[in-house]
Structures are given as C-alpha cells and as structure tokens.
Amino acid sequence: MQTPEKQWENDTRLVTEFVLVGFSNLPDLRTTLFTLFFLTYLVTLSGNVTIITIIHVDRTLHTPMYCFLAALSLSETCYTLVIIPNMLAHLLMESQAISIAGCRAQMFFFLGLGCSHCFLLTLMGYDRYVAICYPLRYLVIMRPTVCFCLGALVFCSGFSVAVIETTMIFSSAFCGRDRVEHFFCDIAPVLKLSCSESAGKALVIFFLSILVVLVSFLLILLSYAFIVAAILKIPSAAGRRKAFSTCAAHLTVVIVHFGCASIIYLRPRSGGNPDEDRLVAVFYTVVTPLLNPVVYTLRNREVRVALRRTLARSCRFLNKH
C-alpha cells in the first residue's frame, strides 16, 4: 500500500511522455498481429497508389468523380501513414513510449484526415447528385475550378476541426497516469489523463463530432434521396441499373466509414470497454482503408477497364525495351 504522500506525489507528477498500451496484453500474438497488419497495410498502400496512378495516367478518368476518388485514396494513404507504421514499430519494440509532442501531432493529423474524409464523402455524394439529377449541366456545375475550390474547402474544414479539438485536449498539462489505453493517440484515452476536469472539453468535442459525422451523413442521405427520386423516373431498367451502379461503391464506403465513426465518437464520454474500442479502432484504421481500393476497383467498370488498359500499355512498353 502506498502512503498518502506517495499517492499524492504520483497523482500530481507531470507527465512528459505517454505509454501506448496497444496490444501489450497479447504478448504471444504480437508477431502474428505484426505480420497480419503489415500485409494488410502493404495491400492498402498498393491499392490506393494504384488508383491514384491510374486516374492520373488515364485521360478517360479525368472527370470530377474520379478526381475526388483520387483525393480519397490520397487521404486514405496519409491516414494510414499516421497510425499504422507507429503501431507496427510498437509491436516489435519493447518500448511503447510516445512523446507528448508526437502524440499531439499524431492526433492532429488523424483527426484532420478523418474529418476531411467525412467531408470528402459528402462532396462525392453531391457530385453523384449533380451527375444523375442534372446530367446536361454536370460539366458546367462541376467545372475544374469549382472542384478544386470544393476540394480545398473539404481539407481546410477538416483540419480546422482538428486544430480546435487538438488544442482543447492539449491545452492543459497531464499528470499522474501516463498509460494511454490504445495503440495510438485517440481523443478519449488521452483526455482521461488530463490534470484538469475534462467533462466540459469532452462535451464540446462530442458536439463537434456530431457536427462532423452526423451532419455529413445527413447531407449524404439528402443527396441520395434526390438521386433515388431521379433514378425512379428513368423509364428503362437498364438505365436505372447503370445509374445505381455509379453510386454502389460510394454507398458501401459511406456505410462502413460512418458506422465505425458513430460507434466510437458519437458518445459523450468513453463508457465502453478499452479492449472493445481497440477492436473497433483496428477495423477503421486497418480494415476500412483496405475497403476503398477493393470496392472501387472491383465494383467500378471504368476503373477496371482503365487498369487493364494501363497494364496492357506497360506490357507493350516493356516488350519494346
């Protein structure tokens, strides 16, 4: 038993670095987890780079829809770079420490890219709405300058939210406990370690999360309500199927992304089990980024055709040399 003086000293000791608990409770599985996560990460990285490259080199994909898809793949690539390499390193090393500055940077980029991802999916929903409801005016409404401005607005808005939330969380010192019950610096486990009362901050962050996640999702639903109404007016079944097929991949990614975000962030305070939170976090940091290239490659005919065309050109070039 610690004396009251010793307990008080531990509770008031300023923390200079955090210890990420990660998967330390599964020592026998660390090598297996490293192999599994590393292979998944390689496939995700390769898939997203492939999509960006195909869209860049194939002129038939130089349309607003595919420009936004390239931006989504780039966002996913950066998003995984923020979390997974550090997680893989901690699975191999004895030390699980991360400096407060490193934790702040990781949280900022994670939140910025995550919020931008929500806004980008909303923008892609709006793009599908314009393409299906106003096909003759599509290229006028979604002209390059408008697409560029909308894309810039998406990322500026996402990182503005990240600045607010990160500043709030790291505005006070951390004392006593230094163990972050996670494999990266997420909001709830870091906020628990704050010296000051964190209930007010948690409430503000909760409402910001509602603003980002719920409003984005509702705007996507609104876009699809107009899309469905427009598609039902198409007389031919083949025309309706073609219109729906352009939205299928986007809808799949939306459901998975917003489903995971709602489970984790639409709670006033983290009342869940840390192990359950880590399991969901593995899904949206490791599995979900893999979904984007898989879904958009397998479910999108134009991307598949462009991929085959690019591979054929590459083979001809190699045969000539």
For the chain, the domains span: 17-313
pLDDT for 219: 94
pLDDT for 10: 47
pTM of the model: 0.86
Alpha-carbon span 70 to 50, nearest angstrom: 10
* 249 pLDDT more than 60: yes
- CA distance readout (Å), 281 to 173, 184, 192, 286, 313: 26, 9, 18, 8, 40
CA angle 44, 49, 52 (to 5 degrees): 130
Alpha-carbon span 278 to 23, nearest angstrom: 9
Across 25-43, average pLDDT: 88
Lowest mean pLDDT among 13-17, 69-73, 103-107, 129-133: 13-17
Band of pLDDT at residue 238, cut at 50, 70 and 90: confident
CATH of 17-313, one of 1.20.1070.10, 3.40.50.1010, 3.40.50.150, 1.10.4100.10: 1.20.1070.10
Single-letter code of the amino acid located at 233: K
Please give the mean pLDDT across all residues of the chain: 83
**Can you tell me which residue has the tokens 């009251």?**
4
pLDDT for 279: 79
Across 224-248, average pLDDT: 84
- The segment with the largest mean pLDDT, out of 184-193, 269-278, 285-294, 307-316, is 184-193
Alpha-carbon span 32 to 138, nearest angstrom: 49
Across 247-256, average pLDDT: 83
Across 86-104, average pLDDT: 86
Across 14-24, average pLDDT: 82
Share of the chain above pLDDT 90, in %: 32
Lowest mean pLDDT among 103-107, 266-270, 297-301: 266-270
Number of C-beta neighbours around residue 50 at 10 A: 16
Alpha-carbon span 135 to 63, nearest angstrom: 13
Lowest mean pLDDT among 167-171, 244-248, 287-291: 244-248
- Per DSSP, the three-state class of 104 is helix
- CA distance readout (Å), 310 to 26, 28, 56, 318: 44, 44, 11, 12
Share of the chain above pLDDT 70, in %: 88
pLDDT for 6: 42
Band of pLDDT at residue 2, cut at 50, 70 and 90: very low
Band of pLDDT at residue 318, cut at 50, 70 and 90: low
